[in-house]
Amino acid sequence: MLRKIFTYGLLISLCSFAIPAHSEALSSQTKMVLVKTINGSISPKSVRSSGTGLVSAHNMMYRHSVTIYDANTFELIKTIPDSVQLSKFGYSQYSTIFKGAPVEGAYSPDGKYLYVTNYSMYGKGYNREGHDTCSPASHYDNSFLYRINLSSYEIDAVYPVGSVPKVVEVTPNNKYILVSNWCSYDLKVISVATQKTVKSLKIGRYPRGIAVSNDSKTAYVAEMGGSKIHVIDLEDFSISYISIGVTPRAVVLSPDNTKMYVTLNLSGKVAAWDLVAHKSLGTVTTGKAARSLAVSSDGSALFVVNFTSNSVSKVRTSDLKVLQTVKACNEPIGITFDTPTQRTWVACYGGSIKIFDNK
């Protein structure tokens, strides 16, 4: 494998043919073109770009793995099993090997780590596996967040979180790790420095999507079981609200942090919100069961996966016009935009990843 022989920088220069040449055109002026389908032993619930040459896929309990790819060549770099010995990390009550179920991932700002949530844990003592329909009263098992060291591709830390953790984000200043817990109805705030939970914030029914402002002062958390975005002050942990629409699922911010975009799963729409003027900018229908979304690096386009429509839509942010809708695969569920290559990666729950150029 080239990666074992050359430095990463040299590898990129040798494989530069795989990086598309880009004009000065805005992302909203380009078209999505399928360039690669990745198959294999995967069942990706989500994909995430590091922005530094890696893309990870998180393969749930169906494959018990995280797979990591070279964003330039599409080469599979590593398959990381979700098996851990929890006692090795100080949890002496767990004496055997346990498995997880990787849901979502987020990279640390310094590029050293990938944090991964696990839908449930599997092993001795775990008897109440999580469920999509639940509440804190259900008493489903709590789970763990994993930290993967990207120099060794090994799990080197674990963090106890809530029941059925979904989305994880790391603040840009690398101070906090935020985890939304679907069945616990809360948001865990973990200190990177101490590796301990410093705050558990009540969100409401089915917290999911998380976005964090560039200055690390504000987090936006979607309450998918309601119609609100919870706006959390990360300095004093006070909470205010934005009424955005029923079943908000995923949240992204424009690169300049002046606008917020949210998928509304039940209606198949994307809602836009002006964070400066504090007002709605409208909605657009993209397809049935709009799930995850990503924003282009220039902020001019959104990419939305429509789970039931089996499609991906490209939306112009300036006027919320759907520019393009392409059939992707059965049950597209996760999406990420890789800035260095200007490519869009789509996780297909059925067992593949679709990669689109924007040109």
Which tens digits make up the pLDDT trace of 300-337? 999 999 999 999 999 999 999 999 999 999 999 999 99
Residue by residue, DSSP assigns 153-219 as TEEEEEEE--SSEEEEEE-TTS-EEEEEETTTTEEEEEETTT-SEEEEEE--SSEEEEEE-TTSSEE
Dmax over CA atoms of the chain, in Å, equals: 57
pLDDT digits (tens, 9 = 90+) for 231-287: 999 999 999 999 999 999 999 999 999 999 999 999 999 999 999 999 999 999 999
- Within 187-319, residue ranges assigned H as helices are none
Using the predicted structure, report yes or no on whether residue 3 has a pLDDT greater than 90: no
Q: Where are the domains of the chain?
A: 24-358
Total Cβ atoms within 10 A of residue 9? 9
Work out the mean pLDDT of the chain and round it to a whole number: 94
Q: Which two tokens stand for residue 73?
A: 């060549």
Using a 10 angstrom Cβ sphere, with 0-12 exposed, 13-18 middle and 19 or more buried, the burial of residue 272 is buried
**Cβ atoms 192, 179 nearer than 8 A:** no
Share of the chain residues as helix, strand and coil, in percent rounded to the nearest 5? 10, 50, 45
The tokens 């969100």 sit on which residue?
A: 203
pLDDT of res. 24: 67
Q: What is the pTM of this model?
A: 0.93
The domain made up of 24-358 has a fold known as Methylamine Dehydrogenase; Chain H (2.130.10)
**Amino acid in position 46:** S
Say how many CA atoms lie within 13 Å of 28 toward its Cβ.
14
Tokens of 313: 């839509």
> How many CB atoms lie under 10 A from the CB of residue 128?
12
Nearest to 188 by CA among 237, 139, 154: 237
Helix and strand totals (H; E) in the chain: 3, 30
The average pLDDT across 167-184 equals: 98
DSSP string covering 8-46: HHHHHHHTGGGSPP--S--GGGS-EEEEEEE-SS---SE
Distances (CA, A) of 146 to 80, 107, 168, 206, 252: 11, 12, 11, 21, 23
Query: Greater confidence, 358 or 15?
Result: 358
**Buried b / exposed e across 294-307, counting CB within 10 Å, b at 16+?**
bbbeebbbbbbbbb
Query: Which residue in 33, 84, 80, 32 sits closest to 57, CA to CA?
Result: 80
Q: Copy the structure tokens of residue 124.
A: 């001795």
Sheet order of strands, 197-202 included: 165-170, 176-181, 186-191, 197-202
Give the pLDDT band of residue 193 (cuts 50, 70, 90).
very high
Whether the pLDDT of residue 19 is over 80: the answer is no
Which two structure tokens, joined as six digits, stand for 187? 């948001």
